[in-house]
Amino acid sequence: MVSGKGGTGKTTVAAALALTLAHQGRRTLLMEVEDRQGIAQLFDTAPLPYEERKIAVAPGGGEVWALALNAQEALLDYLDTFYNLRRAGSVLRRMGAIDFATTIAPGLRDVLLTGKACEVVRRIDKRAPNAYSAIVLDAPPTGRISRFLNVNSEVSGLAKVGPIRNHADLVMGVISSPRTAVHLVTLLEEMPVQETIDGVSDLRSANLPVGGIFVNMTRPPMLTSEQLREARSGTLPALAIERSLAEAGLTFDNQVVTALMHDAIDHAVRVDLEARETTRITELGLPTFMLPLISEGIDLGGLYQLANLLRECGVR
């Protein structure tokens, strides 16, 4: 499960993770649950249907498949599996019944979505031919993740007994087992880090398994610690810089020197802030993975780049 504050790139990290885990001929499934078609946009393909589709080939022959989950389709799926009701589905849909049932309670919605994920997981136990070696779920953002995964308590208010109750118990069994991990994606900025810290404590108090922290879009310091110190204390040697610029054949005015020194001060402030945020993340005591900013923007090439880095960090 991959969660994170909005704008931190959790879909990107989920996709890179699915690619990483698909190495050496393995098959992984990348799922999304929020009707955003984020996977299709990231892999630059047509919108995904409610159907497992091969979406990319991993280095070494592995395959990444994708599935865009949708609560209404999942309900029809569920009705079909347990009640043989698929044929009545289109009529029910026209009457607004499917819409009704999936909106009647978000708990039902969530249990249908996580339930589908668990069905795919359990194919492994059944040694089914369509099983995957890993399933990566691009989950709702940190603010909603505990509620989304804690289907048990969500459904408990709704159904005390009956099939959906049993279904929820089964789902909860998979989600809270060691085979599940909830990873959180963050940036080295105050708000996303705070949300990550809060998210970890929410997950822990709901007894949900916390995985690792993926620090996305990191930018390494571009100045040495000595240079940063000079920038901070305002003692960068303006005259020497001016002389060097002339040396490099740049025609310039004072504005250039001032701007370069100003950039350096800004950079020092950011490096300090990032160091503070890194400490706060480290204090969580969780496995942490640093992913660089891909300055060209994320396309398929960028995803492979991130996947390779994750492999080098020991993700497998």
Partner 1 sequence: MKLNAPNLDVDALIRDRSITIIVCTGAGGVGKTTTAAALALRAAEQGRDVCVLTIDPAKRLAQAMGLSVLDNTPRLVAGVCGPAGTGSLHAMMLDMKRTFDEVVEGNADPERAQAILDNPFYQALSSSFAGTQEYMAMEKLGQLRATASAEGSWDLIVVDTPPSRSALDFLDAPERLGSFLDGRFIRILTAPARGAGRGIGKLAAFSFGVFTNVLNKILGSQVLGDVGSFVAAIDTTFGGFRERADATYKLLQDSGTSFIVIAAPERDALREAAFFVERLKTDAMPLAGLVLNRVQGGGEIDLSAEQATASAERLEKMGEDERLTAALLRLHANRQSIHSRQLHLAERFTAAHPGVAATIVPALAQDVHDLAGLREIGDLLAKKPDPPTRSR
Looking only at residues 194 through 233 of this chain, which bind partner 1 when binding is defined by CB under 8 A? 194, 219, 222-224, 227
Among 252, 288, 305, 309, binds partner 1 (CB under 8 A): 252
Alpha-carbon distance of 184 to 174, in angstroms, equals 19
Looking only at residues 47 through 76 of this chain, which bind partner 1 when binding is defined by CB under 8 A? none
Q: Which stretch binds partner 1 (CB under 8 A): 21-29, 59-67, 86-94, 199-207?
A: 86-94
Is 169 a binder of partner 1 (CB under 8 A)?
Answer: no
Buried b or exposed e, range 253-277, using 16+ CB within 10 angstroms: eeeebeeebeebbebbeebeebeeb
Tokens of 38: 């984020």
Is 238 a binder of partner 1 (CB under 8 A)?
Answer: no
Is 300 a binder of partner 1 (CB under 8 A)?
Answer: no
Is 16 a binder of partner 1 (CB under 8 A)?
Answer: no
Among 15, 66, 116, 141, binds partner 1 (CB under 8 A): 141
Coil, strand or helix: which one is 146? helix
For the chain, give the longest Cα–Cα distance: 82
Tokens of 283: 């204090």
Alpha-carbon distance of 137 to 159, in angstroms, equals 26
Decide if 17 contacts 315 (C-beta within 8 A).
yes
Quick one: 128 or 246, whose CB is closer to partner 1? 246
Minimum CB separation of residue 184 from partner 1 in Å reads: 14
Looking only at residues 255 through 294 of this chain, which bind partner 1 when binding is defined by CB under 8 A? 255-256, 259-261, 263-264, 266-267, 269-270, 273
Minimum CB separation of residue 216 from partner 1 in Å reads: 12
The single-letter code of the amino acid at 260 is L
Quick one: 64 or 164, whose CB is closer to partner 1? 164
Q: What residue has token string 């190495």?
A: 23
Minimum CB separation of residue 114 from partner 1 in Å reads: 15
Phi and psi, residue 57, nearest 5°: -105, 135
Is 125 a binder of partner 1 (CB under 8 A)?
Answer: no
Quick one: 81 or 130, whose CB is closer to partner 1? 81
Quick one: 54 or 219, whose CB is closer to partner 1? 219
Is 162 a binder of partner 1 (CB under 8 A)?
Answer: yes
Q: What residue has token string 């390494």?
A: 220
CB atoms within 10 A of CB 168: 25
3-state per-residue secondary structure call for 217-278: EECCCCCCHHHHHHHHCCCCCHHHHHHHHHHCCCCCCHHHHHHHHHHHHHHHHHHHHHHHHH
Quick one: 129 or 254, whose CB is closer to partner 1? 254
Quick one: 36 or 179, whose CB is closer to partner 1? 36
Which H or E element spans position 292? strand 288-292
Q: In terms of residues, how long is the chain?
A: 316
Among 129, 157, 234, 285, binds partner 1 (CB under 8 A): 157
Alpha-carbon distance of 58 to 29, in angstroms, equals 12
Please work out the total of residues on this chain that contact partner 1, with binding judged by CB under 8 A: 81
Quick one: 35 or 51, whose CB is closer to partner 1? 35
Quick one: 92 or 313, whose CB is closer to partner 1? 92
Among 124, 174, 206, 245, binds partner 1 (CB under 8 A): 245
